[in-house]
Amino acid sequence: MSKEIYLIASGDLRLPANQTCWQAQKDMEDSLQGVFDDLGIKVIRAHKYDEEKGHGFIDSQKMGMDVFRDIDPEKPLIVAESVWQFSHHVLAGLTTHKGPILTIANWSGQWPGLVGMLNLNGSLTKAGVPYSTLWSQDFKDSFFLNGFKEWLESGKITHDLSHVKAFDSSSIPAKALETGTELAKEFRKNKAIMGVFDEGCMGMFNAIIPDHLLHKTGLFKERLSQSTLYAAMRNVSSEEAEEVLQWLLDRGLTFNWGNQTRDRAYQGANA
């Protein structure tokens, strides 16, 4: 593999989040740089720290496309994540990148990078983009170092998948199988609507269920937006809202109002 590797970092779309989380990202990249130096690897950060914004993340889909225009598509590429990130910022460029791709996350729940990386991994898998992935708390452990060296040598990492077992349909309890079969028949015959708010929110391409696959189950999407929900809520009278709340309470639903009384919490929600 080439001794010259590109590195990028996808971030949030929101400026305050990127500014708050930047130090964690910098700490992670500093730790990685120590590994790169020890192995004699030249890593080129494909986008610079933005003094005006106060962070060094790719913070939009447009910026991601601009960054990838200057990346050699044949060179190895690392996506380093220590924060929650919006996958669509970098997905476009990654779909056409030819060189080996490695996603790396810090093992920390602070912001958290591991979840951001897993969302990106899911999007890459769904898009059919080959990649490898690694994670570590301090990037000094043998799991990370051995995996990284394997990627440098072969362009991919082989993980232990011995814990993964094929689904055995014969293990389904008879009653559960009967119930599931009846429900499936009912859905396919009578159809049902599944309300979806802001599909693909935060760039989660991995979370979008393809319609043509969903339709085979008898479910059809009704795409909704949170702004439409808010607008509709403003047309609900207090009397109707109270009736709905009481209906839920009568059926055993419990609300934790915190230190507020029910009336104060209810009034605050409708202010």
d(CA 79, CA 133): 9
Helix axes 113-127, 15-39, angle to 10 degrees: 80
Residue (of 74, 70, 84) closest to 21 by Cα position: 84
Tokens of 53: 């914004």
Interval 157-182 mean pLDDT:
94
Mean pLDDT of the chain: 93
Residue 189: pLDDT above 60? yes
pLDDT of res. 74: 96
Interval 23-44 mean pLDDT:
96
Domains and CATH numbers, the chain: 4-154 (3.40.50.10940), 191-226 (no CATH), 236-271 (no CATH)
pLDDT of res. 112: 85
Q: What is the CA radius of gyration of the chain?
A: 24
d(CA 107, CA 113): 7
pTM of the model: 0.84
Q: What is the largest CA-CA distance in the chain?
A: 70
d(CA 83, CA 117): 8
Residue 6: pLDDT above 70? yes
d(CA 90, CA 73): 13
Q: With bands split at pLDDT 50, 70 and 90, how would you rate the model's confidence at 261? A: low
Q: With bands split at pLDDT 50, 70 and 90, how would you rate the model's confidence at 256? A: confident
Using a 10 angstrom Cβ sphere, with 0-12 exposed, 13-18 middle and 19 or more buried, the burial of residue 219 is middle
Coil, helix or strand for 56?
Answer: coil
Coil, helix or strand for 196?
Answer: strand
pLDDT of res. 264: 54
Share of the chain above pLDDT 70, in %: 96
Q: With bands split at pLDDT 50, 70 and 90, how would you rate the model's confidence at 49? A: very high
Number of Cβ within 10 Å of residue 9's Cβ equals 28
Coil, helix or strand for 141?
Answer: coil
pLDDT of res. 66: 98
For residue range 79-123, list pLDDT tens digits in order.
999 999 999 999 999 999 999 999 999 998 888 899 999 999 999
d(CA 119, CA 111): 14
Interval 252-264 mean pLDDT:
77
Interval 234-241 mean pLDDT:
93
**67-81, 93-107, 218-232: lowest mean pLDDT where?**
218-232
